[in-house]
Structure formats: C-alpha cells, structure tokens
C-alpha cells in the first residue's frame, strides 16, 4: 500500500494592503470548555437577541440573513470584568460589537495618547 504523502502546508500570504489593522489574536480563553459552555448559556438566556439593538442574531451558521452573534463582556476582561459570570455577559450582534470595540479603542486612545 503506497504511503500517503502529506500535502505541503500552504503558507497563508497576508496582503498588508488589505489586511485589517488589528488581526484577531486567538485567545485560548475563547476556546476553553468553560467559556463555550457559558457562552451557549448566555445566548439561550438572551433568546439569541442582541442586547444592544434588539436584533435577532444567528442561531445557526446557515442563517446568513442575520448578523453573527457574539457574547460580549459588559465590563471587559482587561478592565477587570468577570470572565465567566453570566451577569457580566450579554449577547451582541456583530455590527454592535464592532461599534463598541471601536468606541472603546477611541476612549483608550483619548485616555492614553501615545
Ligand atoms: Zn446589535
């Protein structure tokens, strides 16, 4: 039986002109069993509704007509918010989350001008 030859791993080419300024760093926290569990719980609790704008978010990947759902830390972890406390977590849609993130970033830059 011929041995399977492994395909060479393809190196992703990043186009710096189109790459987003802040690539998402993969935080192992967001892959932890505890997080995934509490995340599912919060989505269910919030009935898959964005707690910021009230829009129905995506329950299944095929519901592409709805925005992606995120579970957001109300008080960010870097600001000392509880990691896994549902009271500090809320369902948020992708557009609201982006808006919040950008706003937060602007606030930080105001406070700590570099
Ligand atoms: Zn929203």
Tell me how far the alpha carbon of residue 33 lies from the centroid of ligand 1, in angstroms.
26
Tell me how far the alpha carbon of residue 61 lies from the centroid of ligand 1, in angstroms.
17
pLDDT digit string, tens, across residues 58-83: 999 999 999 999 999 999 898 899 99
Q: Is the pLDDT of residue 1 over 80?
A: no
CATH number at residue 67: 3.40.1800
Q: Is residue 16 part of a domain?
A: no
Tell me how far the alpha carbon of residue 8 lies from the centroid of ligand 1, in angstroms.
41
Return the pLDDT at 15.
61
Tell me how far the alpha carbon of residue 54 lies from the centroid of ligand 1, in angstroms.
6
The reported pTM is 0.72
Question: Which residue bears the tokens 């500090």?
Answer: 88
Tell me how far the alpha carbon of residue 59 lies from the centroid of ligand 1, in angstroms.
14
Q: How many domains does the chain have?
A: 1
Q: Note down the domain range covering 102.
A: 29-111
pLDDT digit string, tens, across residues 2-26: 566 666 666 666 565 665 556 667 8
Distance from C-alpha of 84 to C-alpha of 76, rounded to nearest angstrom: 11
Q: Is residue 102 part of a domain?
A: yes
Q: Which two tokens stand for residue 11?
A: 């190196």
Contacts for 45 with CB less than 8 Å, ≥ 6 apart: 86, 91
Return the pLDDT at 93.
98
Q: What angle do CA 48, 53, 55 make, to 5 degrees?
A: 40
């Amino acid at each position: 039986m011929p041995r399977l030859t492994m395909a060479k791993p393809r190196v992703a080419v990043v186009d710096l002109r189109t790459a987003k300024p802040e690539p998402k760093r993969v935080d192992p926290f967001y892959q932890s069993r505890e997080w995934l569990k509490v995340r599912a719980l919060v989505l269910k609790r919030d009935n898959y509704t964005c707690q910021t704008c009230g829009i129905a978010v995506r329950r299944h990947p095929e519901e592409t007509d709805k925005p992606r759902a995120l579970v957001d830390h109300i008080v960010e972890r870097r600001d000392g918010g509880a990691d896994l406390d549902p009271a500090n977590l809320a369902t948020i849609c992708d557009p609201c989350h982006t808006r919040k993130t950008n706003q937060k970033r602007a606030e930080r830059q105001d406070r700590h001008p570099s």
